[in-house]
Amino acid sequence: MRTKEVKTVKKICLVGSSGGHLEELLMLKPLLDNHNGFIITEKTEYEPDLKNHQTYHLKQVNRKERKFLIYMIANSLKCLEIFLKERPDVIISTGALVTVPMCLIGKLFRKKLIYIESFANVNSPSLTGKLMYKFADQFYIQWESMEKFYPNAIYRGGIF
């Protein structure tokens, strides 16, 4: 009789923009206590206490600024470098735009992608959420009202 092989999660990547996205993501910080992992966020003046965890910083990106494409390319290259160094099994993201390169790189390497739509999105989907819905292995919403936009999403309430 053959038994099923169960793949264990060896390394987790938590990736989120600074501010509210990162605060939501940090609700999952206990995962890093039970699994090897690291955090990727934007380099801004906002710096929560991340000293106990390996943290990487990307350039903050705004899709309306002139250097948007340059910053996205630079962040994508840095994400590829981080990915190849760290080799995460699972990528968990709360968005927004700066997280897209790491999420897509993870999918290219056939890693599990978990996306959590922002708590702030009660009545309409985010642009990043609409994109990640197509790629995520598990997509979570924090409001039942979002089921009309994401019919296959998982609703478990807020992570706060």
Q: Answer whether residue 71 is part of any domain.
A: yes
Phi, psi of 87 (to 5 degrees): 55, 60
Rounded to the nearest integer, the mean pLDDT of the chain is: 90
CATH number at residue 60: 3.40.50.2000
- Please count the CA atoms within 13 angstroms of the CA of 73 that sit on its side-chain side: 4
Domains contained in the chain, number: 1
Indicate the helix (H) or strand (E) that contains 55.
strand 54-58
What burial letters (b/e) apply to 24-34, b meaning 16+ CB within 10 Å?
bbbebbeebee
State which residues form the domain around 130: 31-44+51-155
Q: Answer whether residue 19 is part of any domain.
A: no
Q: Answer whether residue 16 is part of any domain.
A: no
Instruction: Give pLDDT tens digits for 84-101.
Output: 999 999 999 999 999 999
Identify the pLDDT of residue 7: 61
Q: Answer whether residue 15 is part of any domain.
A: no
